[in-house]
Amino acid sequence: MTEDRLPLADLLAKAGDGDFLRSVAEAVLQMLMEADVEGLIGAGRYERSGERLNYRNGFRDRTLDTRLGPMQLRIPKLRQGSYFPPFLEPRKTSEKALVAVIQEAWIGGVSTRRVDDLVQAMGLSGISKSTVSKLCKDIDERVGAFLDRPLSGDWPYLWLDATYLRQREGGRVVSVAAIVAVACDAEGRRQIVGLHIGPSEAETFWAAFLKSLVKRGLRGVKVVVSDAHEGLKGAIARVLGATWQRCRVHWMRNALAHVPKAQGSMAAAALRQAFLQPDHASAPATWRHVADQLRPRWPKLGKLLDDSEADVLAYMQFPAAHRTKLHSTNTLERLNKEVKRRADVVGIFPSEASIVRLIGAVLLEANDEWQLQHRYIGTEALADLLNPAPINETLQLPPKVA
């Protein structure tokens, strides 16, 4: 078995003064790994034992960056199974995806000075195509299984939003839309159910994405919440047959664009009066009253109010406990910020596959975190929505005349 005492004298003799602490730390970590592996194997190095459970199979090198400088560690390998020291944290899926995207850009000859600086900072001075292929294959399999998984049960609420990314295509840089779909299941939990990459937001683009969700098992959708993307409303009606709720936050920005900045606060306060109403019966009346008040001063705002009334107030038809979650795409805002943060590091993606790889990995991690959180939607009102009580339609016959 491993000795209990550290050979500090030997380390001091071999290491210089400047590297002494780092050498000691490397030795300590190496001895910890050796002791850990011996416990897993059931025998020490070169020891014959009837309690042996496994055998060593060499080492793999790993650099650990610390305040003492980079430490070169040799992680033991096993013939059966694998070993990873507990004091090292394996890279997250999205971090592996980021490395794979940068490597792919480097090998494909489309790297920029920014990507080159990032590669150097991450210590990726030597990149082999076999390493890239192996890393990308592992990520693609996990992300693909997540994005193509079958969907079961009812999904009453669906949120959609588009984020625009830059991709190199045919020697030029184009803008592509990355559509992220989030849905609420029958138990009130949010799940990321889809990612779609396309060149535009025409109705055919949205219809193809929604059909792919239906093919995987998405059903029971009552309302779809999104911004006013071109062609989306028609695709929702044709593919899902659900109500469309226009994002109230984005709509408010569009509305205030028709008002001078000095009067923006007053106009916003007037518009919010319709949103403060307790039910769907009183909200439209207040909406039209506010529209009549604002129309003489700002005709374009009045026209917008007339055209978008049903779409912006659609959420008022659903349970009051759910309305704060249904009137906008706020549930996607934080997710989109994380997507953009990771995408900005890459800058220009070398291919569509690299977009799906990186963004899909980010979505996979976010979805795992959501499953550990509390329910997003209350189940009591959700049960009433999915299983409405039957209406008593007993026919009352008039009394017989004597």
Structure confidence at residue 41 (pLDDT): 84
Instruction: Please state, in angstroms and rounded to a whole number, the distance separating the CA atoms of residues 284 and 312.
Output: 10
CA 79 to each of CA 37, 53, 253: distance values in angstroms, whole numbers, following the listed order? 12, 11, 61
Residues 6+ apart with CB under 8 A from 372: none
Beta bridge partners of 60: 75
Asked if 138 contacts 117 with a C-beta cutoff of 8 angstroms, the reply is no
Give the residue ranges of the chain where pLDDT is below 70: 1-21, 67-68, 89-135, 200-201, 388-402
Considering the entire predicted model, what is its pTM?
Answer: 0.71
Instruction: Please state, in angstroms and rounded to a whole number, the distance separating the CA atoms of residues 199 and 311.
Output: 26
Structure confidence at residue 135 (pLDDT): 65
Question: Which token pair is 280?
Answer: 């769907």
Structure confidence at residue 303 (pLDDT): 94
Structure confidence at residue 111 (pLDDT): 45
Sign of CA dihedral 22, 24, 30, 36: negative
Instruction: Please state, in angstroms and rounded to a whole number, the distance separating the CA atoms of residues 62 and 93.
Output: 18
Structure confidence at residue 345 (pLDDT): 77
Structure confidence at residue 36 (pLDDT): 85
**Residue 252 CA to its chain's centroid (Å):** 25
Instruction: Please state, in angstroms and rounded to a whole number, the distance separating the CA atoms of residues 166 and 226.
Output: 22
Asked if 37 contacts 60 with a C-beta cutoff of 8 angstroms, the reply is no
What are 123-168's pLDDT values in tens digits?
555 555 565 666 677 778 889 999 999 999 999 999 999 889 999 8
Nearest partner of 351 among 173, 125, 141, 181, judged by Cα: 173
SS3 (DSSP) at 126 = coil
Structure confidence at residue 1 (pLDDT): 46
Asked if 342 contacts 358 with a C-beta cutoff of 8 angstroms, the reply is yes
Beta bridge partners of 176: 165
What are 208-265's pLDDT values in tens digits?
999 999 999 999 999 999 998 878 888 999 999 999 999 999 999 999 999 999 999 9
